Amino acid sequence: MTDVDDTRARRNVTVLVLAQAILGAQLPMIFVVGGLAGGQLASNPCLATLPISFIVFGSMTTAPWLSPLMQRNGRQFGFFLGAFAGAVGAAVSAYGLYTSSFAILLMGSYLTGIYMSAQGFYRFAATDTASDAFRPKAISYVMAGGLLSAIVGPQLNKLVAEAFVIPFLGTYLAIIILNLVGMMLFLWLDLPKGSKSEPSTTPNASRTKLELLREPRILVAVICAMVSYSLMNLVMTSTPLAVVGCGFTTNNANDIVSAHVLAMFAPSFVTGHLIARFGVERIIGVGLLILTAAGIVALSGVTLGNFFVALVLLGFGWNFGFIGATTMLAGAHKPEERGAVQGLNDMIVFGMVTIASLASGGLMNCSGGTPVEGWNAVNFAMIPFLVLAGGSLVWLIRQPKVAT
C-alpha cells in the first residue's frame, strides 16, 4: 500500500498514546475501588464486583453499534462520545455513592462501559492510516500508552479515594475531570472521516457475521483475544478483594494493580517488533504460557510477593495474547468489513469478559469459607479457557497454508 503515509499514522499514534495514558487512567482507578464500593453498598457480598461487571457489560453492548457508527461518522466522533459517556458515568456513580444507592452505582458503571468500549477501538484506529509494516508497531505503541495510565491512575487514586467522608467518592469525581480534559486530545487526530458510501459500493464483498467467524484466522483471533482479556479481568477483578481479605491494605491493592497495569503495557514497546520477527502465532502462544504461569504463582501462596508476581505475569500474558490477537484480526479481513469485524470481535470479547467479571465476585466471595479458598477458586477457573485458546491456536497452525 504505497499510498499510506506513515508520517500521518505516527501523528495519530502519538495522540492515541496520550489518550490511552490520560483517559485510560480511569480504568485502573475504577477496577481498584469498584469491587470495594460494591461490597460497601450491595446487600449480598456475592454481588460486590457487579459494578465492574456492569462496566464490561456496557462495553459489550456498546461495541456492536459504536463500531459501525465510527465507520459512518469517523473514529473521532466515537472517541468524543466515549469520553463524554465516561464523564457522565463517573458523575452518576458518584451520585450513587452519595445516596448509598447500589442501583445508581450500577447505572453509572454501565455508562462507563461506553467509554471502555471506545477506548478498545484506539488500537484499531492506530492501523487506519498505517502501512502493513507499521501496523503491528502502531498497535503496540498505542497500547504502551497504558504505562502512564498504570502510574497515574492508582497513584491518583491514593490521593482522592479517601478525600471525602464517603469512601471512594473522590475517585469518581477525579474521573469526571480526566474525561473532560482528555477528550480534547481528539481534536488533533487526522483520521478518515467515515465511509458512508463504502458498503453500497461493494455490496457483494462483505461477508455475514457467521461467514466471518468461519474464517480460521478471524475465529482464532477472536478466541485468543477473548481468553486473554477474560482471564486478565477474572483475576484482576478479585485481586483487591483478595488482597484486603488476606489482611493487607487498600494501598497495597493500589500498588499491586499499578504493577499489574504497568506489566500489561510495558512490553508494548517491543511486542510489535517481536510479532514482526517471530510471527503472531508464536507471540500469542507465549502469552498463553505466561497466563498459565500467573495462575500457578497465585495458587502457590497469598503473600504480597505472590500477589505482585502473579499480577505482573498476568499483565505480561495479557499483552502478548491480546496484542497478538488484535494484530491477527487486523490482517484477516477486507477493508469494507472493518466495522463489522471489529464490532463483532469486541462484542464477543467483552461478552465473555462480562461473564468472567460476574463469575469473579461469586468465586471470590461465595465459593469457599475464606478469602484464600475464594482466591484459589478464581485461579483454578483459568484452566479450561487456557486449554480452549491453546487448542485453537494449535489447530490454526496445523491448517494448510492458503496462497494469497
- Is residue 2, in this structure, part of any structural domain at all? no
Burial of 404 (0-12, 13-18, 19+ CB in 10 A): exposed
381-395: burial string, b at 16+ Cβ within 10 Å, e else: bbeebbeebbebbee
Which tens digit of pLDDT belongs to each residue from 334-393? Answer: 766 777 787 788 788 888 888 888 888 889 988 877 999 999 999 999 999 999 999 999
Which tens digit of pLDDT belongs to each residue from 246-287? Answer: 999 888 988 898 899 889 888 888 888 899 899 999 999 999
Give the three-class secondary structure for 192: coil
- Is residue 196, in this structure, part of any structural domain at all? no
Containing domain of residue 231, as a range? 8-188+207-397
- Is residue 1, in this structure, part of any structural domain at all? no
What pLDDT sits at residue 258? 84
Ramachandran area for residue 100 (φ above 0: left; ψ -120 to 50: alpha; else beta): left
- Residue 198's pLDDT band, with cuts at 50, 70 and 90, is very low
- Is residue 193, in this structure, part of any structural domain at all? no
Give the three-class secondary structure for 327: helix
- Is residue 3, in this structure, part of any structural domain at all? no
Which tens digit of pLDDT belongs to each residue from 18-56? Answer: 999 999 999 989 988 998 899 889 888 888 889 988 998
C-alpha cell at 328: 491477527
- Is residue 329, in this structure, part of any structural domain at all? yes
Q: How many folded domains does the chain comprise?
A: 1
- Is residue 82, in this structure, part of any structural domain at all? yes
- Which secondary structure element, helix H or strand E, spans residue 122, and what is its range? helix 122-125
Say which range, 5-9, 32-36, 199-203, 260-264, has the weakest mean pLDDT.
199-203
- Is residue 198, in this structure, part of any structural domain at all? no
User: What CA–CA distance (Å, rounded) separates 19 from 113?
Assistant: 16
CATH number at residue 174: 1.20.1250.20
pTM above 0.85, yes or no: no
